[in-house]
Structure 1
Amino acid sequence: MLSEQEISGIQTRLVETREDIANAAKKAGRDPKDVTLIAVSKFHPVEALGAAYAAGQRHFGENYIQEALDKQDQLSDLPITWHFIGKLQSNKAKFIPGRFSMVHTIDSGKLAHTLHKRIIAAEAPVQDVLIEVNLGRETQKAGIEEADLSQLAEEIMTLDSLRVRGLMLLPPFTLTPEQRRPLFSRLRELRDMLETRLGQKLPVLSMGMTDDFHEAIAEGASIVRIGTRIFGPRPTKL
């Protein structure tokens, strides 16, 4: 159970984070309303999410399916918009239909087809998805290579249960925020080129976290994923 001080701390940090996001958007000549904050709640208890919700937060991101489903069940009385932002294994795709507003981490045709089949079988609504791009070329990370992006996007476009809304990036943690900025810029360029190729708008760029959201917003982020700055240090487990 969280103390009143811990709850107050989450709410204070949330307000401060929103103010910083708004200021970063204004500095970049953008409307703050065009940047959505996802509170990354991985490993944090439902009380922490409830505290953030009470302070006006509505979008939450989870990395692990079972943890996300448990939290959704416990907070089913709250109209939360849930995002799945972790690596999605094909054998876990069956838990996605009807449970998440957006899946940020589609990175292969195999995964897209598996999710498509699960959505059809569940007779669930069309699922909004983002394609994760591995611009840092880190072998240990998920994400499609830049050279394969167009092919994957076109493949997903043939699956009527999925709707591509944009791109997602998780840059190397070893880079400084300023070193990550060219990657944010490149993701925006890839999105723009993909819009032309596909002939449709892709309004979502999910990029930027606690230590680099200023740079991401300056380069066009429409979603920033922030956890530690709001909830404090992440517990090792619930």
Structure 2
Amino acid sequence: MIKENLQEVERRICEACKRSGRDRSEVQLIAVSKTKPVSMIEEAYAEGIRRFGENKPQELRDKYEEMEKDIKWHMIGHLQRNKVKYVVGRAALIHSVDSVRLAEAIDQEAEKKGIVMPVLVEVNVASEESKFGVRVEECADFIENIAKMEHISVEGLMTIAPFVENAEDNRKYFAKLRELSVDISAKNIDNVNMRDLSMGMTGDYEVAIEEGATMVRVGTGIFGERNYNL
């Protein structure tokens, strides 16, 4: 099942790139493996997948210890300050920085480990009460603030779009994040590189790619429905 699902996802990514005049190499597929057993990750790994996304810090830590070391783990879920120690040094990228205090905790942990931790700033583009993330109008000031920290590097933006029946309904949010990225890039803030736009999930990643996503986070489309009872 995973092999066939990956082939279908790959086909759709290629088609979306073609429609938008982009090269396939511009888009990274993050296989969202949260709640999934190592055996399923190994299946995807056997098909060449090397980027996996996790929501829970302890789950990322445990899978990191168990799996091959050429995997790049992505922390895509909300991160609490007291869980930062499980992620820094194991994750290749943290997608969900949404407060100065969290950025400070990541900076301090990275300093302890002698590394610079790449992060994305999570933006609540649709201003949903139920979602984390900084507001669009606060984003530039927020980034200028956290960019002063020596042990993190801001590599771009991330958003979780609303759950919709029709993926087209989210196009405006993806376009807005892209626009915000361009505006912030133009400010030439030290220690900030608007290289990545992490947006789009199983239901809408093709639209996200058409609007400039460099990372799409696909879980259900690869691994099937999640078991939330784990």
Q: Quickly name the TM-score band, shorter chain normalised.
A: over 0.9
**1:43-75 C-alpha deviation (Å, 9 max, x unpaired):** 110000000000010100000011111111111
Deviation at 1:237, TM superposition (A): 3.9
**CA separation in 2, counterparts of 1:140 and 1:215?**
23
2:13 paired with 1:21: yes
Please say which of residues 145-154 and 80-89 is displaced more in the overlay: 145-154
Q: 2:146 aligns with which of 152, 156, 173?
A: 156
Which of 208, 214, 217 in structure 2 is aligned with 1:222?
Answer: 214
Runs of 4+ more than 4 Å apart: none
Give the gaps of 5 or more residues in structure 1: 1-8
After TM superposition, the structure 1 stretch with the greater mean CA deviation from structure 2, 192-201 or 204-213, is 192-201
**Gap regions ≥5 residues in structure 2:** none
Code of the residue aligned with 1:164 in structure 2: it is V
State which of 5, 10, 31 in structure 1 corresponds to 2:23.
31
Contact kept, 8 Å, 1:25 with 1:218, in 2: the verdict is: yes
1:14 counterpart letter in structure 2? L
Quote the Cα distance in structure 1 between the aligned partners of 2:194 and 2:24. Answer: 19
- For 1:196, the equivalent position in structure 2 comes to 186
> 2:164–2:170: 8 Å Cα contact kept in structure 1?
no
Amino acid at match of 2:77: G
* Correspondence list, 1:1-238, <5 A: 9-75=1-67, 77-123=68-114, 125-174=115-164, 176-199=166-189, 201-238=193-230
* Partner Cα separation in structure 2 for residue 51 and residue 167 of structure 1: 30
Contact 2:106 / 2:117 at 8 angstroms: preserved in 1? no
Q: CA deviation at 1:174?
A: 4.1
TM-score by length of 2: 0.96
Q: Which residue of 2 aligns with 1:3?
A: none
C-alpha root-mean-square deviation of aligned residues, in Å? 1.2
TM-aligned CA deviation for residue 31 of structure 1: 0.3
Per-residue deviation at 1:94? Answer: 1.8
Is the CA contact 2:88–2:117 (under 8 Å) kept in the aligned structure 1?
yes
Deviation at 1:96, TM superposition (A): 2.0
Identity of aligned residues (%): 41
Q: Which amino acid aligns with 2:10?
A: R
Kept in 2: contact 1:154–1:198 (CA 8 A): no
When the two structures are superposed, what TM-score results if normalisation uses the length of structure 1?
0.92
